[in-house]
Each structure stands twice: as C-alpha cells, then as structure tokens.
Structure 1
Amino acid sequence: MVGVSGGVDSSVAAWLLAQAGEPLAGLFMQNWDDDGSGDCRAEEDRRDAVAVCGRIGIPFHFRDFSKEYWAGVFEHFLAEYAAGRTPNPDVLCNREVKFKHFLDAARALGAERIATGHYAQVARERGCWRLLRGADRDKDQSYFLHQLGQAQLAATLFPIGHLPKAQVRQIARDAGLPTHAKKDSTGICFIGERDFREFLGRYLPAQPGEIRDPRGVRVGEHPGVFYFTLGQREGLAIGGVRGRAAAPWYVVGKDVARNVLYVDQDRDSPWLLSSVLRSGPMHWVEGAPPASSFECTAQVRYRQHEEPCQVQVQDDGTLQVHFERPQRAATPGQSLVLYDGPACLGGAVIEATDAPTPAS
C-alpha cells in the first residue's frame, strides 16, 4: 500500500513499484479537517492522487485520519507553543499517523507492507533494520523519521530513497505522471500558505509584550511570545533604536511567564550558543543505544549539517550531549537526532541547553 499524497515523490514511488511488478494500491490520508479557509490543499492533493493511481492503473483508497491527527499531533503542537517551546509536528505525524494509523489501515486492506515517497532508505544488517539517510542529502528526511522502530521499518519501503530529486522529476515526466511539475509542498498542511500568526492566534490568543535586549533594556514590542523561536530574524519589526547599530535583531530568549521576548543584534550571539544539551527520553531505532557513552554526530534542526558530539545515556533514558563546537539556536521542543555515518540511531526532544539566560 503506497501512501499517495498527490505529490511527485509519492507518485514516483508508486510508479517504480508498479514497474517492478509489485501488486499494490494507493491510499490517500486526510489528516486535517477543512476549516473553510481555503488554505489547505487536501482536496486538490486528493484529486491529483486519484489521477496518479488512474495513470498507473492501481486501486485508490481514502482514509480520514483527522481525528487521530488532532489527538496525536495537534494537541501536542498547541501545548508546546503554549509552554514557549517550538515543536516539530512532522516528527509526530510520522510516528502517530503515517507509520501507525496508515500502517494499520493498509494491513486491514490486505497489504503486507507500506511504501511512501520519503527520501530515506532501509537496510537489514546484522539481524536489525537500519534507517539510512536518503541519497540526496539536500532532500534527506531521516531527521523526521527518527521515531520509527524495528516493527515499522520491517514493513516499510522507501522506493525513491536512493534517487536524487532531479531524477525523480525526470522519471515522473517520462512516465507522464500528472504531478511531474507540481510544486513541492512546504510547511504543515493545517497551516498551508496562510499567515502562521493568524492561524496560531485562533487557538492560543497571545498578548503583546516587551522586546528587550539581553541586559533587559526595552527595544520594542512583540505581538505574542508564542510566535517566535530562537534564532529567528523575521517579523520582529524593530525600527531604529537610539544608540544601537542599524543591524538585524535575532531572538535569543523567551520568558513566557513574564511575556518578554529577548533579542540581540549578533547572529551568532553568545546567548544563542550552547555546547551541552539535555534531551527527553531517547528513542533508539534499533531498540537500544550502542553504549552508555559513545561518540557520533547529531543534528539539532533539519537541514543542519551533522556535528560531532559525545553522548552520555542517563539512567532514566534521557541524554546529555556535548558538542565539539557550540551549536547555534538549539531550541527546546525541537528534535535532537543522532547519526553513525549514514545510519540514523534515533532521536529525542531537546529539553534544555547550557546557553546563557538573558537578563538572569
């Protein structure tokens, strides 16, 4: 059962499996109820998915997982923003919906395995399933898949994981797939192309408050601390401040309790840099850590190059990670993902860092 999203990647995944003679069908997941805004492309994507299945000549199925998405992903998303953290809903969507409810639905329809258009790879080595980076490093999505375990990987195929994006597009054109020129989707479906602040404000009414520099001096006013994340430059709307250079400002801290946003004019401000971070409970792809203390590489955000680090596994399953060089804007709520070469070892939520606290 191929998860057909209406995009070019899942379309080519289905095409390649069909060309290989695999018996297959497509299943489209609706994960968000239409809120009447017209900003979520679910209906357009569904039509495209139907057209792709028709072109390939495979059955099409539809399942509505919007209630499961709300309970398993969106409620957590809101709670994290309300706490002043920056969540990563794509990670939870993969764990709670695409590789849980979708997998269950596929099996109920008679499928033994599922396939998606993710840029990642699966390998069987030494009796274990391993999650590997996609061959196209710029499109690699293993970061978002780090919560998968042995059961999910044993039942999953990533048919385009060994291909560069340009070749995927070319295959789609050559095959006459109706999605071959479709623009890649970005962001989260339930937000779509709409204004993020307007959307979040529907669920988390925010109050304006002070913007201060790290020493506590007021330099402006914000519309709500929920709307900002560490390292962010856009949307601060800080005009010329007397006695300050005409340079960009960056978010370096948030105090939700006092409704204060802290900023600095140095992109690599010391208030943004951390060498040690503490995570929540770690999920290991192979079920256990390689050792209680080991060296590997890690990413603290998507599209970041992996950085060498020393990992200490704590007795409660959390991690303490020491980086060889300071990391910029490691953000509580985001994912710390560990790698051994191309293999994803697993990941956890960042809980805290040793970055200094503004105005403390």
Structure 2
Amino acid sequence: MKNKKNYVARVVVGMSGGVDSSVAALLLKKRNYEVLGLFMKNWEEDDGHSCSYIEDLKDVKSVCEKLKIQLYQVNFSIEYWNKVFKVFLKKYKTGKTPNPDVLCNKEIKFKEFLDFSLENLNADYIATGHYVRKKKRNEKYILLKAKDERKDQSYFLHLLDQSQLEKVIFPIGEFKKSEIRKIAEKNGLLSVSKKKDSTGICFIGKKRFENFLQKYISCKNGDILSVHKEIIGQHPGSILYTLGQRKGIRIGGIKNEKHGPWYVIDKNVKQNTIMISQNKFHPSLVSKGIIINNVHWISEPKYRCSVQTRYHQKETYCSIRKICLNRISVRFDHPILSVTPGQYGVFYDREVCLGGGEIDLKF
C-alpha cells in the first residue's frame, strides 16, 4: 500500500538516448526512487537514412543496464500522427508556421506517456530530461525556468496543467548543461556524456525541412515579389516560408550585397506569393501586439507581465486585455520583429512561466 511508512515511490523516466534523460534517471536513482525507463517510438521512419532511432535505443539500453533499471518500450506513432502531426500539417496549409514541439509535449510526453505509465506501469510519477523546475505555491504548482537559462525549455511546456504538474518530476532543472555532462561522465554514462543534443522536429529529428514537408503537402511554384509587387523570382511553395526568414530565398543574380540579405516580409497562400525586402526592419515585420486564441494559464493570470513570441527570444513586457472567453489581446511595450501566426506567445512573471497560447493574428 502506498501509505506504508517505507513505501518507495515509483518513477518512470522518459528515456530518449540523450544525456539529459539519462542523468535524470541517475539522479532519481540516487534519491532512492524506484526508477523504470520508458523508450517511446513516435514516428514510423521511412526514408532510411536520417533516423537515429536505432542508435538512440542502443544508448538507452546501455544506460539502463549501467543503472540497473528495467526498460520498457512503447509505440505512440499513431497518437503522434493523429494528435500532433496532422494538426501541424493542417496549420501549415493555412499559411501559419506552427511549433510541433509544444503540441508534442502536451499530447504525447505529458498525456500518452503519463497515462501509460500510471495505468500500465503502476507509476507514482513520470520524469523527463527537460530543463525546467516546478514548485508548489498556495496549493498550486508553478512552472519555473531552469537554472541554466540558455537551456530553459519552459516555453515548450506552457500548456501543462495542474494534474500533469502534480505527477511529473524535472530532476535536471537545477543544473547547468555542463554540469549534467560532467555528472554523466563521472558516473560512467560514457555512451551519452558527450552525445550531441537532438535537434529538429519533435521525435522526427533533423531533416532538410523543405523536402520533408513536401512529402505531405502539395506545393506549387509561385512568384517572389518585391515591395513594389514586381516579380523578381520563383519559389517552390509559399507555405514553406515564414515571416522574417532570410535563408532559402531563391533570387539568384539580383542579390544586392550592398544592402545585405533578403527577408520574407509577407506571404499570400491563396495567391501563392511571397514578398521580400532587404530591410530587416520593414514595417511588415514590426508588430505592436498579438491576438491569442485558447490562452492557457498554469498560474493565476497577470495582465502586466512579459512575453516571448518564439523560443529563446528576449522577453518583452506587455499588457494583456481579455477579449472574450479564452481569447486575449496582447500589446507590447516595445515593438517586436518577425512575429509569426501559428507560433506561441508565452507569458512570464520573472522566472515563473504563467502560460500562453497560439498566436492567431499580429497587429
């Protein structure tokens, strides 16, 4: 029974094959939890050359053997496809630039993984290698930035709710990345101690994004326009571009080195055009505020706070006005460049992540 004096809490750690989740498991083991490992397969790879799945699983097995913890495997590919990837594609088709990592955390890591662990592995908690912290304040859990602000991942976890936070442990949030690597090396986790961080789309990995996306969305060539609406080039599909983008713009010989690189300042999905300028501060890229749909609050709302409109962006102070239900208007104290509908606006009160939601419009 769980109320026995000597009961040891069982924690299932989401093992990815990286140094962060490996050290998370190690630290929990040292804190005398009963630790289990769970390796999730969430993407049915079919290109035969980019997938690190086999290598990651090998590293997970090596770490679990070293730590003497039992490893389980589960396949959430169908759930990922239906709850994350299909939503991701749908938004791209409308011209928005979604962030699948936020939805992946909400629907897979802290829903499917959590439910599976509680129901099938008799877990008391789950744990991950995210760089965040949590505390209890006034009978509610708050989500805090990591001590290592360069690695902080609270932006991606702003949709977590109280029931999820109650059941999750973040063992590495108090450490710097350099410390995590040293801990791994000191404890003989040599297969992961110097392993590079994973990049790219959540669970899918690093790919040439344009080619990857065109496997799932039909794209047609369209016109690249100047600010004077002159046709100055061709592109492979307007949905493949995002506001403020400066790489991958095919305009060849008209590049004017004197004025620097080109930036996407607007796109029209219906007409399949993008507009570019060499002015990084073009008025089309400058926003005074945003409209957010389906705002989610982890902690009590604050209507004066700071906001990030993309990951690792410097925070900007803002004022929030409720429009109706869970739709809000956010006015920045200072204008922000390259705000992109489909991304997320995430709110902070110093080190506390308050919540956030998807950017619907910018103004």
Query: Which category of TM-score, normalised to the shorter sequence, fits these structures?
Result: over 0.9
| In the alignment, structure 1 residue 213 sits paired with structure 2 residue 213 | no
Deviation per residue, 1:203-238 (Å, 9 max, x gap): 112111101123312221111112111111000022
Give 1:257's match in structure 2, choosing from 270, 274, 280.
Answer: 270
SS of structure 1 residue aligned to 2:330: strand
| In the alignment, structure 1 residue 305 sits paired with structure 2 residue 314 | yes
What's 1:270 paired with? Answer: 283
SS of structure 2 residue aligned to 1:152: helix
Q: What is the Cα deviation at residue 289 of structure 1?
A: 2.4
Give 2:351's match in structure 1, choosing from 334, 342, 346.
Answer: 342
| In the alignment, structure 1 residue 66 sits paired with structure 2 residue 96 | no
Give 2:33's match in structure 1, choosing from 15, 22, 25.
Answer: 22
Q: How does the TM-score come out when normalised to structure 1?
A: 0.94
What's 1:182 paired with? Answer: 195
SS of structure 2 residue aligned to 1:240: helix
Q: What is the rounded CA distance, in whole Å, between the counterparts of 1:347 and 1:152 in structure 2?
A: 16
Letter in 2 for 1:274: S
| In the alignment, structure 1 residue 96 sits paired with structure 2 residue 107 | yes
Q: What is the Cα deviation at residue 246 of structure 1?
A: 4.8
- Residues 41/172 of structure 1: CA separation in 2 closer, same or farther (3 Å cut): same
Letter in 1 for 2:235: H
Give 1:318's match in structure 2, choosing from 308, 323, 327.
Answer: 327
What's 1:358 paired with? Answer: none
Q: How does the TM-score come out when normalised to structure 2?
A: 0.94
Letter in 1 for 2:274: L
Stretches of structure 1 lacking an aligned partner (at least 5 in a row): 355-360
Q: What is the rounded CA distance, in whole Å, between the counterparts of 1:210 and 1:191 in structure 2?
A: 30
Q: What is the Cα deviation at residue 36 of structure 1?
A: 3.6
Deviation per residue, 1:106-158 (Å, 9 max, x gap): 11211110000000001000111000001111100000000001000000100
- Residues 243/342 of structure 1: CA separation in 2 closer, same or farther (3 Å cut): closer
Sequence identity percentage? 44
| In the alignment, structure 1 residue 240 sits paired with structure 2 residue 253 | yes
Q: What is the Cα deviation at residue 74 of structure 1?
A: 0.2
Q: What is the rounded CA distance, in whole Å, between the counterparts of 1:160 and 1:189 in structure 2?
A: 20
What's 1:202 paired with? Answer: 215
What's 2:135 paired with? Answer: 123
SS of structure 2 residue aligned to 1:35: coil
Q: What is the Cα deviation at residue 242 of structure 1?
A: 8.6
Q: What is the rounded CA distance, in whole Å, between the counterparts of 2:256 and 2:152 in structure 1?
A: 45
C-alpha contact 1:40 1:189 (8 A) present in aligned 2: no
Q: What is the Cα deviation at residue 197 of structure 1?
A: 1.3
Stretches of structure 2 lacking an aligned partner (at least 5 in a row): 1-11
Letter in 2 for 1:229: T
- Residues 242/277 of structure 1: CA separation in 2 closer, same or farther (3 Å cut): closer
What's 1:106 paired with? Answer: 117
Give 1:34's match in structure 2, choosing from 26, 45, 48.
Answer: 45
Alignment length (residue pairs): 350
